[in-house]
Structure 1
Amino acid sequence: MALNHGGASCNPRILKAGFGLMAICLAAYIVGPPLYWHFMEGLAAVSRSSSSSSSSALNCPPCDCDCSFQSLPSIPIGLSNNTFADCAKHDPDVSEETEKNFIELLSEELKLREAEALENQQRADIQLLEAKKMTSSYQKEADKCNSGMETCELAREKAEEALVSQKKLTAMWEMRARQKGWKEGASKSS
């Protein structure tokens, strides 16, 4: 089947327009979602600022709090609630007691972390000693291999020297034999 290059071929303008449309669609596909989310975050921020400015116009009376520590749940270390601290400021006895409890909890936490760090250090020391032992054993094996290689190399050099001297001796005897009239093929026939 032959291609028709006549009037039915693609017009370059249509081809350029198609590629341009594809480029615009691809750019919208890539850039569109991030722009959409930034736009939505901006709208949310604007709506929050407008609602907070309208609520700040309302004046709330100060809150009364009941600071009985028996009714408060225990607060784990690391979590803080400023409202409880604010309530305790009104009563100096409660403030001192809370501070003492807090200091005791912190000291216990520090002791626990120190014990954990000491334990981790001991484990690391043991692993370091094991690694040193393994390194030492590997070094011994490497030294054995090196001494074996040196022994083999010395034996090879001696064998090479012996071969060279044996070749010289053989060449000398062959030369003497030729001088006496020996030929290579003559000894085989007799």
Structure 2
Amino acid sequence: MAHPSANKMFCSPGIFRLILFLVGLCFVGYTMRQQLFRHNSGDASVGSSCPVCHCDCSAETTLPLPLDCGKDNPETNEEMKKDVITLLTEEISLQKTVIDDNLAHTKALIMDARKSSSHYQKEAEKCNTGMETCEEAREKAEAELTEERKLSLLWENRARENGWRDR
């Protein structure tokens, strides 16, 4: 049995959920603060101090990219303008799609397993029926053999009484 003080080292599920919630809240606050800071510091003076990026972001490169490389890309700009809630909603919907696909695949596998199980169960029932038939036939043959041996013994005894002898 575990030592009673060993359980005190772990926190209860309620405390764990509270800590997890607070960490998530801090993460959301930090992300929103970064976004607000980025929007408030978007003055013309900041834009003039940074050179315009003329890089091809779609090509794979092994060189480190500047931090504002995708600034002129419309798709990247559209993604960057989304707020945290929209991004989290998209992530949740993607996770739901993946889960739904996995669930459908699992259900299909379960149905296949049920079909296979049913098929093998029917085959086992056929086999058991065949075995019972064979067992009944064996028992019948054994009974007939016993009767035949008794009859043979009776005829042999009669033959000995009438003078028959073995070689």
TM-score (norm 1): 0.47
For the residues of structure 2 that align with 1:111 and 1:85, how far apart are their CA atoms? 23
Question: What is the DSSP-based 3-state SS (H/G/I as helix, E as strand, rest coil) of the residue aligned with 1:133?
Answer: helix
For the residues of structure 2 that align with 1:83 and 1:100, how far apart are their CA atoms? 14
Cα pair distance change 1:103/1:83, threshold 3 Å: closer
TM-fit CA distance, 1:174: 0.6
The residue number in structure 1 matching 2:112 is: 130
For the residues of structure 2 that align with 1:158 and 1:183, how far apart are their CA atoms? 33
The residue number in structure 2 matching 1:167 is: 149
User: What value does the CA root-mean-square deviation take over the aligned residues?
Assistant: 2.9
| 2:133 is the alignment partner of 1:183 | no
C-alpha deviations, 1:152-172, integer Å up to 9, x for none?
111111111010000000000
TM-fit CA distance, 1:85: 4.4
The residue number in structure 2 matching 1:147 is: 129
TM-fit CA distance, 1:89: 9.1
For the residues of structure 1 that align with 2:87 and 2:115, how far apart are their CA atoms? 42
For the residues of structure 2 that align with 1:121 and 1:84, how far apart are their CA atoms? 37
Q: Relative CO higher for 1 or 2, CA cutoff 8 Å, sep ≥ 6?
A: 2
TM-fit CA distance, 1:111: 1.0
For the residues of structure 1 that align with 2:136 and 2:156, how far apart are their CA atoms? 30
TM-fit CA distance, 1:184: 2.3
Opposite residue 176 of structure 1, the aligned amino acid is: R
| 2:67 is the alignment partner of 1:117 | no
The residue number in structure 1 matching 2:61 is: none
The residue number in structure 1 matching 2:37 is: 87
Task: Map 1:8-87 to 2 at 5 A.
Answer: 84-85=34-35, 87=37
Question: What is the DSSP-based 3-state SS (H/G/I as helix, E as strand, rest coil) of the residue aligned with 2:83?
Answer: helix
TM-fit CA distance, 1:100: 6.8
For the residues of structure 2 that align with 1:110 and 1:86, how far apart are their CA atoms? 23
C-alpha deviations, 1:84-128, integer Å up to 9, x for none?
24626969xxxxxx9972111111111111111111100000000
C-alpha deviations, 1:165-188, integer Å up to 9, x for none?
000000001111111111123xxx
C-alpha deviations, 1:4-31, integer Å up to 9, x for none?
xxxxxxxxxxxxxxxxxxxxxxxxxxxx
For the residues of structure 1 that align with 2:93 and 2:32, how far apart are their CA atoms? 26
